[in-house]
Amino acid sequence: MEIRTRFAPSPTGYLHVGGVRTALFSFLYARRHGGKFILRIEDTDLERSERIFEDQLLDDLKWLGLNWDEGPDTDGSYGPYRQSDRLEVYRKFANKLVEEGKAYEVYAEPDDIGKLREEILAKSQAPHYTREMLEKLSTEKIDEYKMSGKKPAIYFSMPRKDWILNDLVKGDVNFTEDSTGDFAIMRSSGLPTYNFAVVVDDALMKITHVIRGDDHLSNTVKQMALYESFGFPLPAFAHLSTILGPDRTRLSKRHGSTSVGEYRKRGFLPEALVNYLALLGWSHPEQKEMMSIEEMEKLFDLDRVSKNPAVYDEKKLTWMNGRYIREVSDERLYETSKPFIVPKMFSEEEYVSNKKWIIQSIKSLKTELEELSQLSEKMEIFFVKPEVDHDLFVTVEKSGVIQAYKILIDLYESIDDWNVEKITEVTKKAVKDSKIKASDFYHPLRKILTGKESGPDLVEFIFLIGRENTIARLRKFLEG
């Protein structure tokens, strides 16, 4: 049997990290077992669905490397892969259930259903509907509906029995016969409800494994009943535990960035985000933390997915992103850094013509970076001359290092070929010739040239700002 998983987002907003984890686990499970990963767009919420969100969603998934085998922009045998293009399919299957007596038409307004719900709750009963209740409402409205040409909703007759779901993450989940009552499968607008459309789509697209968040767990009993009524084979279900914020409440915007787009704007690398999200509920067999998506594809399985909620730690994510930034190739770092430097620091033309210098300057700052959005601020040290620290001048003067810096200026002026090796050589000579401690020489020198206590390799920095800038900063300091 070919393994087929799917990710079925609604284009009603930007892609959330919780959705990414669901997509990632579905993608990895399919790849691990040589199967197919399908992308389906659930856009039947016409009021909230927007094409801009769908386009962004597709772009974000591609950026993350979660490429689908079948989807709205990819040929497949089971399309269309956008629900709004499948409305006739849903009508056909809903009518089939009505013809078989497994579903029925309801002529009632949403307000009528709401009042019925309130009446049931007032009796301290579960808000479950029965065919008898809803057909009674229909008798009052059926003539009005038919005369005005309004369409009825269609409700499914929920079989009254217990159900057991063998969930691949949660284990056995029991649903008693009073878990739910009859429920709508088609609205009077002609649009399908979520529980109905998802069953029809998953069955017709031959989905073998449904991997999703456990907020869908309560829906599963309705879907199991629909599968049974149609005679469709039931897919395997795996419900992933909720992602919590550091305060142990459901992850939301109040905890910080939560969408892929926000992390892209902050300069996160896709492999860092994928790596971190994979560890939210799944663990590497050898407890490794840093791993490529290719390694995950070979190792991922649901038996290592935890039942317990995962806690989202953005500090760990930024740490991991910093690790990936330090490991990325020079060429990719140059390309990836462009949106964060142009036009703040350079024009397009300058970025191209100064490529070698820009690569070297970014490399020198690598150890300080956790997000590429920090680059423009970090790079200011190459262009902004620091203010003279008068307290530092007093300290340097007392320690006798002033003379050493004067020697250093003369040596820098004498260099024929301005390069890291030559700068290193003459800087060491200045320390030796002035007969002072290296620590008394180098620490103040960094503060004089950069205005900071720490930063990139000092000699590399001196090389990058150039001879004239270096000497000018030193002279400005020595002049007090």
Decide if 434 contacts 404 (C-beta within 8 A).
Answer: yes
C-alpha–C-alpha distance, residues 478 and 392, integer Å: 11
φ and ψ of 183, to 5 deg: -145, 155
C-alpha to C-alpha distance for 66 and 62, rounded to whole angstroms = 6
Structural contact between residues 32 and 298, judged by C-beta atoms closer than 8 angstroms = yes
User: Which residues pair with residue 421 across a beta bridge?
Assistant: none
Task: Classify residue 248 as left (phi > 0), alpha (psi -120 to 50) or beta.
Answer: left
**What is the H or E stretch that residue 311 is in?**
strand 310-311
- Element (H or E) spanning 212, and its range? strand 209-213
Question: For 375-378, which contacts have Cβ atoms below 8 Å and span 24 or more sequence positions?
Answer: 375/267, 375/337, 375/340, 375/341, 376/340, 376/341, 376/344, 376/345
User: What does the block give as tokens for 313?
Assistant: 């730690």
Tokens coding 24: 């990632």
* DSSP H or E stretch at residue 167: strand 163-167
How far is the C-alpha of 283 from the C-alpha of 305, rounded, in Å? 7
Q: Could you give the CA distance from residue 180 to residue 86 in angstroms, rounded to a whole number?
A: 27
Residue 253 is among the residues annotated as catalytic for this protein:
yes
Burial 207-228 (b: 16+ CB within 10 A, else e): bbbbbbebebbeebbbbbbbbe
First to last CA, the chain: 79
Burial grade of 383 (CB within 10 A; 0-12, 13-18, 19 or more): exposed
**Active-site residue, from 62, 146, 161, 253:** 253
CA–centroid distance for 477 within its chain: 47
CA distance 285 to 295: 11
Helix and strand numbers (H, E) in the chain are: 20, 11
Catalytic residue IDs: 253
